[in-house]
Amino acid sequence: MSLPGGNGAGANDGRGGNKVPRMRLSMMAVVATALFASLFARLYDLQVVGSSDYQVQAEANRVRTVQVEAPRGRIVDRNGKVLVDNRVAVVVAIDRNAFGDLAPPARAELLQRITAELTAVGHPVTPEEITGRLGDTRYSRYAPVPVATDVPEELKIFLDEHAEEFPSVVVERTAVRHYPYGTLAAHTLGYVGQIADDELTYVQASGDLVKPYTLNDHIGKAGVERTYEQYLRGTPGVRRIEVDAEGDPVRIISDREPRPGDDLALSIDIDLQALAEQALQQGLADARARPPRSGNPPNNATTGAVVVEDPSNGQLLALASYPTYDPTAFVDGIDTGEWNFLNDPANGQPLNNWAIQGQWASGSTYKLFMGYAALHSGLMSPDTVFHDGGGYQIPGCTGLKCYRSNAGGAAYGSVTIRDALTVSSDAFFYNVGAQFWLQRERFGDEGLQGFLAPWGIGQETGVALTGERPGRIPGPTWRREFCEATNCNDPVWRTGDSVNVGVGQGYVLVTPLQLANGYATFANGGTRYVPQIALRSQAYQTGEVTQEFQPQAAGRVDMTPAERQALLDGLAGVPVRGTAAGAFAGFPLDAFPIAGKTGTAQVDNKADTALFSAFGPVNAPRYQVTAVLEESGFGATSAAPVVRRIFEVVAGLTPKPVATPNGLPVNLEGGGLTGSGQGAYD
């Protein structure tokens, strides 16, 4: 007999045991469904949502991009004459992939063989240097690594004929810079060279995606090649190479040709540039040949500069610097010996652009700016008379250095500012400098300096060339700061210091370009321009102008008509009856009037620096010419004849020399410069 409910309990256990497997199966089904859903979602993300990104990554693993350097734009003068062009040169390079496939002994033998051949043709290189280049990861793996540029054609023929002896060596042709006029305008043009590490870091940080650089590229290093790099540099070509799983090249997928850079038209007239360089070199040679005055150091005449500027717009027509150099030396890279020679002071530092980097005392050329300060400040009027007895006694000063004599002790009697400029009365301008300091309660401690600064003295002109120096306007603040920096014993500015400034001596420094720009500012009536070196950039082949460079005013010198006329009268008298009369004897000043100022700056233990700055024709100035010749004697004797030679040509008195593809024109007539200037003191 069964107990009540016994069968029911047994039945319930049986049903409960069946539920457990069903629950497990349900849970497994849910998990499986979730897993498949996750898998399908991931597949959808990979194949649909993220397909484009992964295709790019796959493509990047399969394809390598190699940049091909583009030819640089040409540089032409204002008349379209080509100053810098491109020519084809032979480059010896090594394919890093093929080199890596060689056995170690074969690699060593190849390096010994190729370095011997390169050294024999004037491209010395060592196996260690080549190994260092091949190991530099910044060179693309998919482009040959260059080891020598501009090798002789004969070596190319030899390597081509003996290719089996030089495995992995690649001989290519590339475009390099060519200078049809040799050394002419070398400092203005500049040169290019392989990009340095710091330059590469800088340009890569700039983020230029249109004209990117690689380690093997070339870049402007000096002159307009550097300052107008963005226009001259071409747009690199792009070569896409398919590679295998090991990264080895399989085939070229596409090849976009490089696009040459823009041509750059300069304001320079290469024929006038040739004349300026020839006149400068002749002037220095004449100075060296001239016996020094009794007791004076010899005229070593080592360096100098000539600037020719258009006063109406600031355009530079010629910019000569001596000694010069040949930019072709940088085409295939320059060795340490050559570099040291070009920077050696004993050689005159040929790489220096003395027109913008040379800083000399201005001598009496400063008297134009001092005359302006005297008139515009109200210190004196155009008709104020000063008695010049041959020198100047510094007020309140006692001692041997308190009396300053005129050059040669000449006494000019009663003079106005017109006379003082014409005959170059030192005593007159000694007094001007002294009075600004003695009346500093009226003008301020830096009163004189404030009237000099608007002319651009003591600051960079802003010309688009590398390495410009600022010159100096000394004053109380400068002297104090100078002494703090150098621990000098006497930081106090005195009357004698202002006296020195009055005649452009003491601590005064100017560059030839600053001096030229100051006189050009006066010539045009007071507008100081930023000296302009480039006129425009234009597209290769089509000639379409891509950028026009306009004249840029940097400031304005305010002067009344009466002030300007008084100063102009004084300057116009210099070549007629003043210090430059000897140098301009026979020049038709009635037909082509010239105004200017000579300068002779004294230097301790060296011959004087000779200066002359002038413009003409006076009523409508088209040319401002400044010459500075270091260690060359009187300005009237050495610098003025250089300037006269240039004015003879621009005035149409003598034919304009034509610059030749080999550099300078023939020597000037007679082997020397017209006008002696003998007997002049300034």
Which residues does 344 contact at the CB level (< 8 Å), separation at least 6? none
Residue 601 and residue 610: Cα distance in Å, rounded? 7
Closest CA to 280 of 259, 261, 253, 307: 307
What sections of 453-549 are H helices per DSSP? 476-486, 495-502, 512-523
pLDDT digits (tens, 9 = 90+) for 570-589: 999 999 999 999 999 999 99
Give the integer Cα–Cα distance in Å for 409 and 426: 10
Cβ-based burial of 389 (10 A; exposed 0-12, middle 13-18, buried ≥19): exposed
pTM for the whole structure: 0.84
For residue 4, the model assigns a pLDDT of 44
The tens digit of pLDDT for each residue in 376-423 reads: 999 999 999 999 999 999 998 888 889 999 988 999 999 999 999 999
Confidence band for 40, pLDDT divided at 50, 70 and 90:
confident
509-523 per-residue burial string, b: 16 or more CB within 10 A, e: under 16: bbbbbbbbbbbbbbb
CA distances, 230 to each of 264, 316, 467, 536, 549 (Å) = 11, 21, 18, 13, 14
Average pLDDT over residues 433-447: 96
445's CB contacts (< 8 A; 6+ apart) are 475, 476, 477, 493
Average pLDDT over residues 504-528: 97
- 351 or 173: which leads in pLDDT: 351
Give the right CATH number for 267-357+515-546+579-588+598-682 from 3.90.1200.10, 3.30.70.330, 3.30.450.330, 3.40.50.150. Answer: 3.30.450.330
Question: Rounded CA gap, 132 and 533, in Å?
Answer: 40
Higher local confidence (pLDDT), 597 or 293: 597
Question: How do residues 596-627 score in pLDDT, each as one tens digit?
Answer: 999 999 998 999 999 999 999 999 999 999 99
**pLDDT tier, 47 (very low <50, low <70, confident <90, very high otherwise):** low
Give the tens place of pLDDT for each residue, 137-178.
777 777 788 888 888 999 999 998 898 999 999 998 888 899
> Is pLDDT of 213 > 60?
yes
The two tokens of residue 18 are 């069946």
Structure tokens given for 311: 């006063």
Instruction: Kindly give the pairing relationship between strand 169-178 and strand 595-603.
Output: unpaired
- Beta strand residue intervals within 95-206, DSSP E: 145-151, 169-178, 192-194
- How many CA atoms does the CB half-sphere of 540 hold within 13 Å? 18
- Across the range 30-59, mean pLDDT stands at 65
249 phi/psi in degrees, rounded to 5? -65, 140
Instruction: Return the domain boundaries, the chain.
Output: 65-266, 267-357+515-546+579-588+598-682
Confidence of residue 238 (pLDDT cuts 50, 70, 90): confident
- Residue 203 has which token pair? 């340009």
CB 318 within 8 A of CB 306: yes
Task: Give me the pLDDT at residue 20, please.
Answer: 66
Candidates 89, 54, 127, 555; CA nearest to 333 is 89
Measured CA to CA, the distance from residue 138 to residue 214 in angstroms comes to 8
CB atoms within 10 A of CB 133: 19
- Given a contact cutoff of 8 angstroms between Cβ atoms, the answer to whether 233 and 240 are in contact is no
CATH of 65-266, one of 2.60.40.10, 3.30.70.360, 3.40.1190.20, 3.90.1310.10: 3.90.1310.10
Q: What is the mean pLDDT of residues 644-650?
A: 97
In sequence order, which ranges of 172-329 are alpha helices (DSSP H)? Answer: 186-189, 197-206, 223-227, 229-232, 270-289
* 200 — pLDDT class (breaks 50, 70, 90): confident
Give the H/E segment covering residue 55. Answer: helix 51-62
Residue among 456, 130, 81 nearest 272 (CA): 81
Angle at CA of residue 489, ends 483 and 493, nearest 5° = 65
Take residue 608 and report the two structure tokens written for it.
């004087």
**For residues 513 and 502, is the Cβ–Cβ distance under 8 A?**
no
User: What pLDDT does residue 50 have?
Assistant: 55
Q: Of the given ranges (71-80, 98-107, 353-362, 420-429), which has the lowest mean pLDDT?
A: 98-107
Question: Three-class SS of residue 374?
Answer: helix
Pairing, β 304-309 against β 553-556: unpaired
Q: pLDDT of 297-340, one tens digit each? A: 999 999 999 999 999 999 999 999 999 999 988 887 777 888 89
CA dihedral 468, 474, 478, 482 (to 10 degrees): 80
Judged against a pLDDT cut of 90, whether residue 252 lies above it is answered with: no
Q: Dihedral of the CA atoms 524, 525, 529, 534 (nearest 10)?
A: -10
Do 65-266 and 267-357+515-546+579-588+598-682 show the same overall fold?
Answer: no
DSSP-derived 3-state class of residue 124: coil
Residue type, 458: G
Dist. CA 98–CA 80, nearest whole Å: 46
Residue 110 belongs to what H/E stretch? helix 104-120
pLDDT > 70 in the chain, percent: 89
What phi-psi label fits residue 679: left (phi over 0), alpha (psi between -120 and 50 degrees) or beta? Answer: left
Pairing outcome for strands 75-76 and 263-266 = parallel
Mean pLDDT of 240-259: 72
What count of residues does the chain have?
682
